[in-house]
Amino acid sequence: MSGPDLDTRIETYYVRVRGVVQGVGFRHHMVRKAHALGVRGWVANLDDGSVEAVVQGAANQVDLMLEWLRRGLPLARVTDFHSEERHIEKRYERFEQH
C-alpha cells in the first residue's frame, strides 16, 4: 500500500511564532529560507510582537520549513510555536513578506 507522494502533495499550514522574533531579521530570513526550499505563502509581524505565516508547498518542503521555524535564526529566540494545517483552495505563487 502506498501513500501520497510527499514531493507532490500540496500542504498549507498557518503558523504563529512568539518570542524574540521581531527586530532581528526573522521575516527576511524566513523569506530567504522559503525561497531556498521552494515553499510559497507569506509572513507578517503582528502587533503583539509575534510573527504569523502561511506556508504552502510539497509535504517534505513544508516539514523542513516548519522545523526551521521552530528553531528560528541565531538572533531570534522562539518561545512558542503553533502550526495547524489549513485546507484551502488558494495556491500561492511565491513567498512574500508583508
pLDDT in tens, 53-70: 999 999 999 999 999 999
Q: State what percent of residues in the chain have pLDDT above 70.
A: 92
Q: Are strands 40-45 and 77-85 parallel, antiparallel or unpaired?
A: unpaired
Q: Which of 13, 70, 17 is nearest to 48 (CA)?
A: 17
Domains of the chain: 15-87 (3.30.70.100)
Determine contact, residues 66/85, Cβ cutoff 8 Å: no
pLDDT for 2: 46
Per annotation, catalytic residue among 16, 32, 40, 45? 45
Residue 79 to residue 95: CA distance in whole angstroms: 24
> Is 60 one of the catalytic residues?
no
- Tens-digit pLDDT profile for residues 18-36: 999 999 999 999 999 999 9
**Local confidence band at 81 (pLDDT 50, 70, 90 cut-offs):** very high
∠ CA(93), CA(95), CA(96), 5° rounding?
115
Query: Does the pLDDT of residue 82 top 60, yes or no?
Result: yes
> Is 18 one of the catalytic residues?
no
Per annotation, catalytic residue among 18, 27, 40, 94? 27
